[in-house]
Amino acid sequence: MAIITEEVGDIFSAPPNSILIHACNARGAWGSGVAAAFKQKYPYAFRKYNTHCLSPLTGSKLTVKQHQANIVGTTLLIPPPNAINQRQAFKTPHYIACLFTSLDYGKKVSPPEEILENTGNALRDLAKQVAEIRGSGEEMGNYYAVRINSGKFGVEWQKTKTVLEAEHLDITVLRPKEEETADAANTAAGGKLGQPPAKGEKAKGEKSPAGFNAGRYNRRGSIRAKAESLSDKQTRGMKRKVEKDLTGDDDDDRDDMKRKEPAKPIQ
């Protein structure tokens, strides 16, 4: 049984030659969540990952989509750049382990039970590759990961952690301090550890989602309130007019009629 240690820290600050684990889709996209951070930090690794997803093996008769379906449940282990490119090697001193736990992303993300099964298969594939590399005499560090599957893939972290513990890789799971603060606030509110707050709630320290414009939201609320206020005034004005028509002064009406009555011609 593996030992999974959780700590607060930055995964990108792991020692050189460490193996950084994160969950990926098989479509070749690192567009959001922690994947976007990996893409920005390791553009070299992203190009390798993207090519792997979009290019079936040479001589294969599989379509791209068939190839993508086949790599789900496997791991693409990307080594640091070689010494020829010293600048890139300095920027990317880690092995990047891309666990293909979901075929797709967004609204088409795989069901949680499939993601968990794919995670176990991908971890065993990773262990096999690392054993072969170490067997060749190459130096490799320890395993580090984030809370894989619990972000954009929407799988409860404790379920993924159970899968990790069932394998044979000792992994240090690093969480940003902001995530720990959000967890503490959510737990205090009666939520589960590692799970997002209930719909309509927001944990302390959590940022508004991308695309959310608080100013626009407030302006809409203000406009709506003004419209409702104007509607109330118009309703009250109409009510007063009806009451006046029903109970108004007849003398005033007769005066109005006299003023409007045309003068009789002189005979």
* Tokens at 4, concatenated: 């999974």
* Tokens at 91, concatenated: 């920027």
Single pTM value for the model: 0.68
In angstroms, rounded to a whole number, what is the distance separating the alpha carbons of residues 51 and 33?
20
Please determine, for residue 137, whether its predicted confidence score (pLDDT) is greater than 70: yes
Give the confidence band of 69 by pLDDT, cuts at 50, 70, 90. very high
**Candidate ranges 60-64, 103-107, 228-232; pick with highest mean pLDDT:** 103-107
Q: Find the mean pLDDT for residues 95-101.
A: 98
Give the 3-state secondary structure of residue 23: strand
Note the pLDDT of residue 66: 96
> Quick one: CA torsion of 68, 170, 193, 157, rounded to 10 degrees?
10
CB of 96 closer than 8 Å to CB of 78: yes
Give the confidence band of 178 by pLDDT, cuts at 50, 70, 90. confident
Give the confidence band of 206 by pLDDT, cuts at 50, 70, 90. very low
Range list of H helices, the chain: 33-41, 43-54, 64-71, 86-91, 112-135, 157-166, 177-188, 214-247, 250-260
Note the pLDDT of residue 231: 52
> Which of 50-59, 76-85, 139-148 is predicted least confidently?
76-85
Give the 3-state secondary structure of residue 76: strand
Per-residue pLDDT reduced to its tens digit, 8-61: 999 999 999 999 999 999 999 999 999 999 999 999 999 999 999 999 988 889
